[in-house]
Chain A
Amino acid sequence: MKRLSVLFSILLAPFAVVPLAQADDGIGEYGGYVSDEEDRFVDYVFDFVDEFAKDCTGLFDVCSDYVDSWINTSYTRKHYTFSGCSHLLNNSINWVDSVDLAYVAGHGRKSNINMSGTDCNLENASWGRFSTKGNGDLESIVFHSCKVLEMDAGYRSRWMRSSANQARPFSGLHHAMGFRTNHVNGAGAGAWTSDELAENLEEGQKMRTAWYDAVEDGYWLSPFAVFIDGDNKQAVFYLEANGNETMSQLYNGGAGDFNYGHANYKLDTYYRK
């Protein structure tokens, strides 16, 4: 890969532009971040990044659809990578916090996700324009994982700041999407969900209903609808002021970034009971 990079660097050097990782940089980008434990995590993330906003300009990419998207904005894939905690925490500014939308898959539990064998405590994450790591770009993040968005008493305190520079995920972040319960991939329902999320976003749905409906469609196709109640319950944490945003608004900041102390720094949750 280094040889490839060198070759491309030589060929493209005269035209190179280095994008900066900064808040609302006006560049529509998304990324996929995969824990390496199970194939299904790869499937979840790949189905999203492959489906979403395909620009048909990749080296070996061939598009067959007539109309790619109803999003009036070009989004490009920046990352599709196996990840560890650093991509979400210490070095987030170069990874999840350098794109507008991050899609993450791995085994999860309350405010925690295991990435490639290491538990990542998401209470220590800080994403968005006011991140403790720098001027982040992230607006929306998806956790295709069990229980990361668990809604126990006081759950907001794990996600929101109680002081201006505290490390908490909502540091300018607009939406976090995932499951408040276990998520189970019955008969491909998981990958169906990530496919549907991409479609829903491309067709201009609000971020929160796009995720909710994508999970519902996955549920319909899951045998868990036959077997087990109580799993696969989705939740979306979002700042109230950002609640109606669609993907076409995210690349330039949508309804705005809000931090601790601002009147709009209020976290609502759209969820299935």
Chain B
Amino acid sequence: MSNLNPQLHPRHARSHRKIGLLVLLTMGALFTAAWLVPPSKSPAARSSEPTTESAVALASPSSRPVARAAAPAGAPVVSDAKGAPVIEEHVMSALHDFAQRPAKRVGLLQGAVEQTKQVMRSFVGRAIDLDKADKRVSKRFTRTSYRQKLENDAPIHLADRVGKDGIFTRDGDAKVARDGEPVDAVYRESDDGSVMKFQKARENDGPAGEGLSEADAKESAEKFFVENGMVTPTDVDTISKTELRERRIDVGNEAMESDDDYLAQQDTLLRRSYEGKPVINSVASVGTLPGSGEVVLVKLANWTPSDPSGAETIKPAYDAQQAQQLTDELRKRVLDTLVEQTGTAAEGAVIKSMDEGWYQTPDDGLIPVLLFQAETRPPGNDEVQNVALIVNPFGSNDEIWQQGRVPHDEAPAPSDDE
């Protein structure tokens, strides 16, 4: 990764080659189609008749009528009466401070992904036989899904631990017949092994109590991931935040009132920080059913142990002039990102804060990212909305935006011509 010169990710490169072939194949067709397709009408001129699929296929991306606010170009950072987005002074100071300091990326521990995957597969194996399960390769996410109908399975609990040999260290591992209709279990695993999610479609039939206390849920979830070797905290690579989230069902009656409101599932999420800064795409999550305490969801995403000895400087300390140049470039990147993300709502937006963070990539380890919070006022809505922006200061934002998905071409304009 070079400074302000993003490299094309191999995954993107494959996609681009494929797109290249498609372009050649479709150019002729589009040429033929061009004389057939009139320019897009304005929204006001749209027909009220339904649109057909063939119209969608031939719509031109350039016909997209969405209005966009212009970002200010190189202007000083002050409030703008014309409604251009504004970056507050203290945010600019933080940006300049970042530009002055050296920056690094942090490598990931070799072999850790494979080790974690084996632990996850040990848990999955209590329900799904991956060799016999239905298999599906996603066209959008670089992952494979496995599905099996559970006639019987071994329940998983937060106290379960897997030894290095893949054997569980507690009794009661046998698969047992379960009450009720068989349910699906699905396991998704990304091609690079950095994102895994295992889920059983099992639910309680009704209320089963209020589950674990918040403190117990958090402690049990942290131990589940750490003691099973799926999350490996160190002095600098830590669990920064653990959050308990409740799925509930509000049960209605014929009088349109609420008869009951009960807990359906508890999901406990762990977030990560490195050197005190959040790693924004790392997450571990475990979901349990109240009553039985059965684990019905385990997810681990982009939480590969870091290797501080593999840290590499990607930008040295800058002198004042270099730092100002980088600050100007980053300010433009922030505003462009705001406009790209919010469209017309960027008008009058104020960027209120900046934080530094990390983003885990499969190839470059932890890379620095900048996190901004903007306040916007969307059209037709009097409320101020908070918008989060992420800028990859030394590379393209695309990798962060796609987050491992296979990129597709820009969305074509919805077709409204008839």
Contact = CB atoms under 8 A, between A and B. Distances in A.
Contacts of B257: 156
Contacts of B37: 1, 4
Interface stretch (B82-90, B117-125, B241-249, B326-334): B241-249
B140 A269 contact: no
Interface in B109-161: 134-141, 145, 147
A209 B253 CA distance: 21
B23 to A, nearest CB: 11
Interface string A204-224: 111001001100100011111
A199 interface: yes
B250 A269 contact: yes
Interface stretch (A32-40, A123-131, A136-144, A171-179): A32-40
Contacts of B408: 50
A7 B35 CA distance: 12
A119 to B, nearest CB: 7
A133 to B, nearest CB: 14
B43 interface: yes
B378 A107 contact: yes
Contact of B251 (A47, A198, A240): A240
A64 B142 CA distance: 12
A205 B200 CA distance: 10
Interface string A232-273: 000000001000000000000000000000010111111111
Interface stretch (B54-62, B72-80, B94-102): B54-62
A95 B50 contact: yes
Nearest to B390: A187
A25 interface: no
Contact of B256 (A86, A160, A226): A160
Most buried by B among A36, A67, A271: A36
> In the complex, which range does the number of interface residues on chain A fall in?
35 or more
Contacts of A268: 249-252
Interface stretch (B1-9, B170-178, B215-223, B342-350): B342-350
A225 interface: yes
A58 B245 CA distance: 42
B414 A82 contact: yes
Most buried by B among A42, A83, A212, A265: A42
A79 B57 CA distance: 11
A170 to B, nearest CB: 10
A73 interface: no
Nearest to A228: B386
A78 B340 contact: no
Prevailing SS type, chain A contact patch: mixed
Contact of B57 (A58, A78, A119): A58
Given A114-B380, A220-B285, A156 B411 contact: no
B10 interface: no
B50 A94 contact: yes
Nearest to B406: A64
B340 to A, nearest CB: 7
B186 A116 contact: no
Given A64-B18, A94-B49, A199 B141 contact: yes
A203 B252 CA distance: 29
A232 B269 CA distance: 15
Contacts of B201: 205-206, 209
Interface string A42-63: 1101110011001000111111
B385 A223 contact: no
Contacts of B299: 220
B247 A70 contact: no
A81 B49 CA distance: 10
Given A59-B57, A81-B415, A272 B247 contact: yes
A60 B26 contact: yes
Contact of B140 (A157, A195, A203, A240): A195
B388 A222 contact: yes
A192 interface: yes
B65 interface: yes
7 contacts: A1-B415, A40-B342, A50-B411, A80-B51, A220-B299, A223-B357, A227-B355
Interface of B: 18, 22, 26, 29, 33, 35-38, 43, 46, 48-58, 64-68, 134-141, 145, 147, 184, 186, 199, 201, 245-254, 256-257, 264, 267, 269, 271, 278, 280-281, 283, 285, 299, 301, 340-345, 355, 357, 371, 373, 378-381, 383, 385-390, 400-403, 405, 408, 411-418
Given A212-B247, A268-B250, 7 more contacts: A36-B66, A117-B380, A187-B388, A225-B283, A227-B371, A227-B373, A272-B245
The 7 closest A-B pairs by CB, nearest first: A46-B411, A65-B139, A38-B343, A186-B388, A1-B417, A223-B388, A156-B256
Interface of A: 1-5, 7-8, 32, 34, 36-40, 42-43, 45-47, 50-51, 54, 58-70, 76-84, 86-87, 91, 94-95, 98, 107, 109, 114, 116-117, 119, 146, 151, 154, 156-157, 160, 162, 182, 184-188, 192, 195, 198-199, 202-206, 209, 212-213, 216, 220-228, 231, 240, 263, 265-273
